[in-house]
Amino acid sequence: MSITGDTIISAENLSVGYDKPLIRDICFALHGGEIMTLIGPNGSGKSTILKTIAGYLKKHGGDIYIGDSTIDDLSPNEKARQLSVLLTERLRADIMTCREVVEMGRYPYTGRFGLLSPADNTAVDDAIELVQMSDFAHKDFSEISDGQRQRVMLARAICQEPRILIFDEPTSYLDIYHKIIFLEILKKLTRERSIAVVVSMHELDLAEKISDYTVCVKDGGIFKFGKPQEIFCRDVIRRLFDIPEDLYAKYLSP
Amino acid sequence: MINLNLRKSTRIDNKIRCMIAFAALIIAMCALFCVNVFTGSADISMSEVLRVISGGVYRQTGTSATILFKIRIPRALAAMLLGGALALSGYLLQTFFHNPIAGPFVLGVSSGAKLTVALVMIFAVSRFHMVNSAVMILAAFVGSMLSLGFVLIVSHRVRQMSMLVVCGVMISYICSAVTDFIVTFADNSDIVNLHNWSMGTFSGTTMDNVRAMSVVVMSATICVFFLSKPIGAYQLGENYAQNLGVNIKLLRVALISLSGLLSACVTAFAGPVSFVGIAVPHIIKVIFHTSKPIVLIPACFLGGSIFCMLCDMIARTAFTPTELSISTVTAIFGAPVVIIVMIRRKRDEL
């Protein structure tokens, strides 16, 4: 493992699950600029891990550290400045322009009434610029396409200025062009801003290209953890998803 | 560069739109207040009204003064304050349930309050021959929270928004039936008023009532306004709000109790008033074209005031000397709005 800076987020012997522990002894450490992908069959527990790291589910054991402090020691506002999410759950935007959606990312930084300072406005504009949505900023959030919407959501997450991004299947439902655009922007900003990213994905070919580490989750357990070159090979993928030899050869062999 | 200018200009356009809309609402509110004070079944000339009002409350003893200070002004003020309270209560419930057709009336909150107020009134009148404003508000608040509690339990079981409303309407019918039963059998002469009240009316409001309601409504409204930032985040969905650092549990408690208190205040003094809580927030959203609570909260209050003063004016004057109940008029204007909202929702979903 090459160390490119301080550890930003790490887990030690983390156990996650809803009512009882489902996955035990999860350990990882991410530095600035690194992307960790979670792959595995539906219902294997990827979302459960992400939800626990993001603080929606109580952990059943172990610890999650952001920098040197455990996640439980941070106040909600401190946590909001450190960690930002993009969920599979649709964001409700009744009558909001794309810019207004992005502006919500400034929430942890604004005062009592949530009014934006000039610095906040700059951060919002920069985030919109970064996801290449400047031309759509004034459009209603409900009027744009799924791919564009996901980029606006990315901008919202970025302008929260977090050190950690947690994404649950951000590229599902996007066409291939928008998947690529989304991941390209994500990769770029991760490096530039030295952010640590934990993201679950179904697109194995794309996951291979953006990952620094990959976690394989299967049947409520960690099936394998490692660098992408160790994971994305015939043997591991076939066993992870239980794909019969002949079908793998027919559809997935290069 | 061009893009930048364009973005700036739409931002400014929206600001101007909001400012014009606010100015129009404030002017409409003042105008309607004046109309409500100047008109009525007793013929009082405009100069007479001005003479009496400029003289102040305490020096006047004539008939005109009595009518103005004992009847028309408190009634207009009640319509203004309680209308605003209802609209705001509806806005909070719609936000809380993420449900565009929620409101204190359809969710049975008003009827729950009506039941407890009726009980307290009958008990208090038969024992002490009087009822204190604060006790009425408290009784109504207890009733509101009980109804809301039932609705909340149901909303935990079923996640469908239509089921929530059906459940609210059923609670509302049960409470109304029990109230009618009580009112019918408690035919004490002191309780004659109770029947009118249980249909909904702003008449019979005293200046003391106005004082009590203004304290409660104003303080609740200020609290809501101070919550506009977390409410804005809550609108995105609980999970996103939590990620932004909002204390969801605390906010939910605050939303429910403030909306319960606001609608309780209305029911305590004017009885159940239908459709204001649902319709006004939608009208306001169309006028202002925004979801920002910091704009919508004061705008809903103003809109509710205007809506209720207008409806009360019609209720008083349309068929003089007979008065309509306020809910009759608010339903005629409010119900179509709800239907339009539902049709538009359906179309969006398809």
List, for residues B289-314, the tens digit of each pLDDT value. 999 999 999 999 999 999 999 999 99
Chain A residues close to B161, C-beta within 8 Å: none
Of B240, B245, B247, Cβ closest to residue A108: B245
* Tens digit of each residue's pLDDT (9 = 90 or more) over B64-98: 888 888 889 999 999 999 999 999 999 999 999 99
Are A33 and A211 in contact, with CB atoms under 8 Å apart?
no
Q: Does A99 contact B at CB distance below 8 Å?
A: yes
Question: How far is Cα A130 from Cα A128, in angstroms, rounded to an integer?
Answer: 5
Question: How far is Cα B276 from Cα B266, in angstroms, rounded to an integer?
Answer: 11
Per-residue CA distances from A222 to A15, A17, A198, B93, B133 (Å): 11, 13, 15, 43, 64
Average pLDDT of chain B to the nearest whole number: 87
The band of B28, judged by pLDDT with boundaries at 50, 70 and 90, is very high
Q: What is the mean pLDDT of residues B274-302?
A: 94
pLDDT of B347 over the 70 cut: no
Question: How far is Cα A219 from Cα A233, in angstroms, rounded to an integer?
Answer: 20
Q: Does A110 contact B at CB distance below 8 Å?
A: yes
- CA B87 to chain A, closest CA, distance in angstroms equals 18
Of A92, A97, A104, Cβ closest to residue B98: A92
Q: What is the pLDDT of residue B1?
A: 41
* Tens digit of each residue's pLDDT (9 = 90 or more) over B107-125: 999 999 999 998 888 887 7
Chain B residues close to A114, C-beta within 8 Å: 228-229, 232, 294
What does the longest C-alpha to C-alpha distance in chain B come to?
76
The residues near B155 (Cβ < 8 Å, ≥ 6 apart) are B97, B164
Question: How far is Cα B55 from Cα B296, in angstroms, rounded to an integer?
Answer: 38
pLDDT of B60 over the 70 cut: no
Per-residue CA distances from A42 to A149, A204, A234 (Å): 24, 13, 19
Question: What letter would DSSP give residue A72?
Answer: G
Average pLDDT of chain A to the nearest whole number: 92
Please name the residues between 152 and 181 in chain B that touch chain A, using a CB distance below 8 Å.
none
- CA B165 to chain A, closest CA, distance in angstroms equals 20
The ipTM assigned to this model is 0.91
Q: What is the mean pLDDT of residues A191-213?
A: 94
B169 token code pair: 């309407």
- Preferred mutation among A71, A121, A138, A153 to probe B, highest tally of B CBs within 10 A: A138
Contact call for A104 and B6, based on CB within 8 A:
no
B128-132, B206-210, B263-267: which has the highest mean pLDDT? Answer: B263-267
The DSSP bridge pattern shows strands A35-39 and A196-200 to be parallel
The band of A173, judged by pLDDT with boundaries at 50, 70 and 90, is confident
- CA A124 to chain B, closest CA, distance in angstroms equals 12
Pick the CATH number of B82-349 from 3.30.70.120, 1.10.3720.10, 1.10.3470.10, 2.40.50.140: 1.10.3470.10
Please name the residues between 42 and 71 in chain A that touch chain B, using a CB distance below 8 Å.
54-56
Chain B residues close to A94, C-beta within 8 Å: 235, 285, 291
Q: What is the pLDDT of residue B189?
A: 57
The band of B350, judged by pLDDT with boundaries at 50, 70 and 90, is very low
Q: Does B228 contact A at CB distance below 8 Å?
A: yes
Q: What is the mean pLDDT of residues B137-148?
A: 95
Q: Residue B266: which of B62, B40, B80 has the closest Cα?
A: B80
Per-residue CA distances from A201 to A60, A198, A215, B148, B301 (Å): 24, 10, 11, 41, 46
Please name the residues between 114 and 153 in chain A that touch chain B, using a CB distance below 8 Å.
114-115, 134-135, 137-138, 142
Chain A residues close to B239, C-beta within 8 Å: 56, 85, 87, 89
- CA B346 to chain A, closest CA, distance in angstroms equals 15
B156 against B3, higher pLDDT: B156
DSSP string, B23-45: HHHHHHHHHHHHHHHH-SSS---
- CA B329 to chain A, closest CA, distance in angstroms equals 29
* Tens digit of each residue's pLDDT (9 = 90 or more) over A106-146: 999 999 999 999 999 999 999 999 999 999 999 999 889 98
The band of B159, judged by pLDDT with boundaries at 50, 70 and 90, is confident
pLDDT of B56 over the 90 cut: no
Contact call for A76 and B247, based on CB within 8 A:
yes
- Preferred mutation among B18, B243, B247, B341 to probe A, highest tally of A CBs within 10 A: B243
DSSP string, A23-38: EEEEEEEEETT-EEEE
pLDDT of B349 over the 70 cut: no
Span of B113-127, B190-204, B268-282 with lowest mean pLDDT: B190-204
Question: How far is Cα B60 from Cα B54, in angstroms, rounded to an integer?
Answer: 10
Please name the residues between 90 and 149 in chain B that touch chain A, using a CB distance below 8 Å.
98
State the first-to-last Cα distance of chain A, in angstroms, to the nearest integer.
28
* Tens digit of each residue's pLDDT (9 = 90 or more) over A64-114: 999 889 998 999 999 999 999 999 888 888 889 999 999 999 999 999 999
Of B232, B237, B246, Cβ closest to residue A91: B237
Q: What is the pLDDT of residue B334?
A: 92
Contact call for A87 and B98, based on CB within 8 A:
no
Q: What is the pLDDT of residue A3?
A: 44
Q: Does A252 contact B at CB distance below 8 Å?
A: no
Q: Which residue has the tokens 């951000």?
A: A170
User: For the purposes of burial, counting CB atoms within 10 Å of the CB of B128, is it exposed (0-12), middle (13-18) or buried (19 or more)?
Assistant: exposed
Question: For residue B26, which amino acid is it?
Answer: I
What percent of chain B is predicted at pLDDT more than 70? 91
Chain B residues close to A167, C-beta within 8 Å: none
Q: Which residue has the tokens 């200009």?
A: B9
The band of B193, judged by pLDDT with boundaries at 50, 70 and 90, is low
Of B11, B240, B245, Cβ closest to residue A91: B240
Question: How far is Cα B333 from Cα B345, in angstroms, rounded to an integer?
Answer: 20
Chain A residues close to B248, C-beta within 8 Å: none
pLDDT of A219 over the 70 cut: yes
- Whole-structure pTM value: 0.92
Q: What is the pLDDT of residue B268?
A: 92
Question: How far is Cα A29 from Cα A11, in angstroms, rounded to an integer?
Answer: 6
Domain boundaries, chain B: 82-349
Contact call for B245 and A76, based on CB within 8 A:
yes
Contact call for A113 and B244, based on CB within 8 A:
no
Q: What is the mean pLDDT of residues A154-177?
A: 94
